[in-house]
Amino acid sequence: MNIALPHQRRTLAEDLRLQIADEIVRRQLGPGAALDETELARRFGVSRTPVREAIRQLAASGLIEVRAHRGAVVAKPDAERLTGMFEAMAELEGLCAGLAAERMTVAERHVLEAAHEEMRALIRVGDPQRFHEVNEAFHGAIYAGAHNTYLAELTLTTRVRVQPFRRAQFRNLGRLSKSHAEHDQVVTAILRGDRARAASLMHAHIATVRDEYGHYAESL
């Protein structure tokens, strides 16, 4: 049974960004490949407006480069930039988890537990797409539970930039179960109100995500 979780509905531009990003991360679109707005609009059956916004978001992630008079092209992989984004993500998410351990309301804890349990069920039925969606809601519940709007905004902005790489690591064999086990420890620490342990475990979880993406990239 799917559990209703509070999360924002993605815009058309965000859906396009994820689809194009997946193709780049999976190397179906290689470095230097041109991303023509008109061609993408025709391919996805949309206007150029959401395509233009998707390209802007992809540029922020470092996946593409927008060059004057030349348009957008797939960027060469930048390992140093990616490492930096994951380091920032680990620090921000760790801080959110620590604060959530102290500040989450009873209702917010129930939302977190609901997401966690739904992911457990999704592993059994083998639905990685829904798992990813609920995973975003799970992490979003922790950001909200920190009760620090500015921190939540920073964390969400960074998550958007690393999102394609976080999605890719779920393609590794057995990764869904491992990710859930890591979440289980984080949830336990939050529910016990253990700020230091919740922060440490979340930091370690994001570091593992980075490593898992590295393994995925090496397998291509």
User: How does the average pLDDT of the chain come out, rounded?
Assistant: 91
This prediction has a pTM of 0.84
Q: Give the model's confidence band at 1: pLDDT under 50 very low, under 70 low, under 90 confident, else very high.
A: very low
pLDDT at residue 121 greater than cutoff 90:
yes
Domain chopping of the chain, boundaries: 12-74, 79-219
Q: What is the pLDDT of residues 143-202, one digit of tens each?
A: 999 999 999 999 999 998 898 888 888 888 899 999 999 999 999 999 999 999 999 999
Chain centroid to Cα 195, Å, comes to 23
Angle at 89 between CA 88 and CA 91, to 5 degrees: 65
For the domain covering 79-219, report its CATH number.
1.20.120.530
CATH of 12-74, one of 3.40.50.620, 3.40.228.10, 3.40.50.720, 1.10.10.10: 1.10.10.10
What pLDDT is stored for residue 2 in this prediction?
40
HSE at residue 119, side-chain half, CA atoms within 13 A, is 28
Partners of 72 in the β-ladder: 35, 66
Contact 121, 167 (CB under 8 A): no
What pLDDT is stored for residue 8 in this prediction?
53
